A and B are shown apart, each in its own frame.
Chain A
Amino acid sequence: MSSEPAVAPAPAGGEPNHLRRFLTLWLVASVIAMPLVIIFLGPLFGPSTGSEEAAGQQTIMTVLAAVATPVFMLVMLYLLYALLFFRQPRGAALEGPAVRGDPRLQTTWIVITTLIVLGLAAYGTYELEVHYGHGSGSGPNPLTAPSGPRLPVQVIAQQWLFTYRYPTMGDFETTQLVLPVNKTIEFQVTSLDVIHSFWAYKLGVKADANPGVSNIAFVKPTKLMSFWVRCAELCGLWHGEMTGRGRVVSPAAFIAWAHRQQRMLAPATKVLPKYSKTYIPEPAGRAE
């Protein structure tokens, strides 16, 4: 603190220079912790290999954790330091110095925290828009969309199952989710009844399903794998059981699968309503 040099040195024994001690402690701890966080904690932040979006999410989380580490260390170490070194000696009733503030320190703090925050916000916005929403449900009119061919997969959420409609592959609807690897998928997520949320963990995709709205999320799977899908918005009795498995397969296997589904589901496909972005339940839908 700036009051340090002006206060007369302690009468006996010499009070340690707390500021220097603490700052050193903090600097050392941060320098050690940051790489540890990046190297060891980072890979734990979610699945990273399933899609570009998932990989990006892990990177961003690692960056945020790394930036948060020195801030976190500062306060946490300070707490420990204060509780260890600024104690009332047993049985004493001493008072501390009556310091009420320090404009320079306060200004520095305000400026630094503001810069960190603005930086994080800019970084977050950039990452979000450059990656076309980063796997999030971006509404019916996303701000940015990937160029090039996209495979539309309509995710129809209902109580309590996700079904998937492939309008460009024969317009069939199925309970299985199969995706071709390395192709850009456009999920169009909508609901037939209440609010659900389509969450494909390993793909890094989450998009709420609202009735009457088509919520679009882009993803590019990059690995052959099976992944689970869960509902992430409380939708009633079986919300926790509204789960399923999806698969990412090679493009050839995908086309073969699509043909098989078309054949097997022909009776159901004949009676499906025409493909539409939303399927509004009958008006009011209450009285029978």
Chain B
Amino acid sequence: MSVMAKKVIGVALAVAVVGVALALYVADWATTFPPTVAASANPLSAGGGTRLTLETVGAVGHKYGSKPDWVSYLVRSNGQWVHSTIYKVPAHSVVHVTIYQFDSASGLRNPLFSQVQGTVGNTMTLNGKTVVSIPPEEPGHSFAIPELGVYVPLAGVNEEAKGFCEEGPCSPATQLHNTITFSFRTGKPGRYRWQCFVPCGAGFLNGNGGPMQTLGYMDGFIDVV
């Protein structure tokens, strides 16, 4: 084999190796999901079923990756706040949700979502008080599973007030927040998406860009198994 041919083969081999490495990198990027977090068991005394504990923060913070200034949901798992929006719940059961809302109010684009819909009793409790709706300029975020008909507005807090949480993870024990609880029923198994309906992606057009369109921040899956 000539010297030229050897060189060409060598180059071709190098190109192939680089190509495969790139392909693996891209495949890894493409298949990355936030981790799935299972809802914890809810004691029978509190109503049985499972419990999901979430918090919404105004800036997810440097602990959780590349976009520290983005709004985000965090989920409680094994005593830690985990940066994920994929939650696993059992089928044909009741899921009790508690959300600690730490962010300021941005207001709803569509005031329809100021009314609680699709939850058990079509109500939620806001800091202990049972309500069916809140004024449309008050939500900082919302939690909605359109395929299950669940829409829950989450009231915002005053960002000027003392104790406002500047960056996640935020602590319900010490920092300013609203506590919202509600329950919803699951049916058949499947992967259902959920999202926030408050345009809270600050700085993006219509408030709907960035975290509003990225899995792991303001969008996720409910895996009913």
As a 0/1 sequence over residues 274 to 288 of chain A, the CB contacts with chain B under 8 angstroms (1 = contact) are: 000000010001111
Within 8 Å of chain B (Cβ to Cβ): is A94? no
**What is the chain B residue whose CB lies nearest that of A191?**
B206
The CA of A286 and the CA of B106, in the complex, are separated in Å by: 13
As a 0/1 sequence over residues 116 to 160 of chain A, the CB contacts with chain B under 8 angstroms (1 = contact) are: 000000000000000000000000000000000000000010111
As a 0/1 sequence over residues 121 to 139 of chain B, the CB contacts with chain A under 8 angstroms (1 = contact) are: 0100000000011011000
Are A244 and B146 in touch, CB under 8 angstroms? yes
As a 0/1 sequence over residues 102 to 124 of chain B, the CB contacts with chain A under 8 angstroms (1 = contact) are: 00001001111111010000100
Within 8 Å of chain A (Cβ to Cβ): is B219? yes
Which residue from B115, B146, B195, B208 sits with its C-beta under 8 Å from A193?
B208
Report B-chain residues with C-beta under 8 Å of the C-beta of A285: 205-207
As a 0/1 sequence over residues 159 to 170 of chain A, the CB contacts with chain B under 8 angstroms (1 = contact) are: 111010000000
Report B-chain residues with C-beta under 8 Å of the C-beta of A194: 206, 208
> Is chain B's interface secondary structure helix, strand, loop, or mixed overall?
mixed
A192 shortest CB reach to chain B, Å = 6
B121 shortest CB reach to chain A, Å = 12
Within 8 Å of chain B (Cβ to Cβ): is A237? yes
A211 shortest CB reach to chain B, Å = 9
The CA of A175 and the CA of B135, in the complex, are separated in Å by: 19
Q: How many inter-chain contacts with C-beta < 8 Å in the A-B complex? A: 79
Are A286 and B112 in touch, CB under 8 angstroms? no
Are A238 and B219 in touch, CB under 8 angstroms? yes
The CA of A225 and the CA of B133, in the complex, are separated in Å by: 32
Report B-chain residues with C-beta under 8 Å of the C-beta of A161: 144, 146, 197
As a 0/1 sequence over residues 70 to 91 of chain B, the CB contacts with chain A under 8 angstroms (1 = contact) are: 0000000000000000000000
- Interface residues on chain A, size class: 20 to 34
Are A272 and B193 in touch, CB under 8 angstroms? no
Report A-chain residues with C-beta under 8 Å of the C-beta of B197: 158, 161
B218 shortest CB reach to chain A, Å = 10
Are B205 and A288 in touch, CB under 8 angstroms? no
Report A-chain residues with C-beta under 8 Å of the C-beta of B64: none
Q: Tell me how many residues of B have a C-beta within 8 Å of chain A.
A: 34
The CA of A159 and the CA of B193, in the complex, are separated in Å by: 13
Within 8 Å of chain A (Cβ to Cβ): is B212? yes
The CA of A86 and the CA of B22, in the complex, are separated in Å by: 49
Within 8 Å of chain A (Cβ to Cβ): is B202? yes
**What is the chain A residue whose CB lies nearest that of B215?**
A237
Within 8 Å of chain A (Cβ to Cβ): is B65? no
Are B193 and A238 in touch, CB under 8 angstroms? yes
**Which residues A243-288 have CB closer than 8 A to chain B?**
244, 264-265, 267-268, 271-273, 281, 285-288
Are A267 and B132 in touch, CB under 8 angstroms? yes
The CA of A264 and the CA of B123, in the complex, are separated in Å by: 12
Which residue from B136, B146, B207, B208 sits with its C-beta under 8 Å from A175?
B146
The CA of A173 and the CA of B113, in the complex, are separated in Å by: 10
The CA of A158 and the CA of B195, in the complex, are separated in Å by: 12
Instruction: Check A286/B146 contact, CB under 8 A, given A173-B112, A236-B213, A265-B115.
Output: no
Within 8 Å of chain B (Cβ to Cβ): is A15? no
Are A268 and B133 in touch, CB under 8 angstroms? yes
As a 0/1 sequence over residues 174 to 196 of chain A, the CB contacts with chain B under 8 angstroms (1 = contact) are: 11000000000000000011100
Instruction: Check A268/B115 contact, CB under 8 A, given A156-B110, A281-B206, A286-B205.
Output: yes
Instruction: Check A273/B111 contact, CB under 8 A, given A175-B117, A237-B215, A238-B193.
Output: yes
Report B-chain residues with C-beta under 8 Å of the C-beta of A287: 203
Which residue from B110, B133, B135, B207 sits with its C-beta under 8 Å from A163?
B110
Within 8 Å of chain B (Cβ to Cβ): is A241? yes
**What is the chain B residue whose CB lies nearest that of A272?**
B111
Are A271 and B110 in touch, CB under 8 angstroms? no
The CA of A288 and the CA of B197, in the complex, are separated in Å by: 16
Report A-chain residues with C-beta under 8 Å of the C-beta of B215: 237
8 contacts between A and B (CB under 8 A): A156-B110, A158-B109, A161-B146, A193-B208, A237-B213, A268-B111, A268-B115, A271-B114
Q: Which 7 A-B pairs have the closest CB atoms?
A: A268-B115, A267-B133, A288-B202, A193-B206, A237-B213, A271-B111, A173-B112
Point out residues on B near A: beta carbons under 8 Å: 106, 109-115, 117, 122, 132-133, 135-136, 144, 146-147, 149, 151, 193, 195, 197, 202-208, 212-215, 219
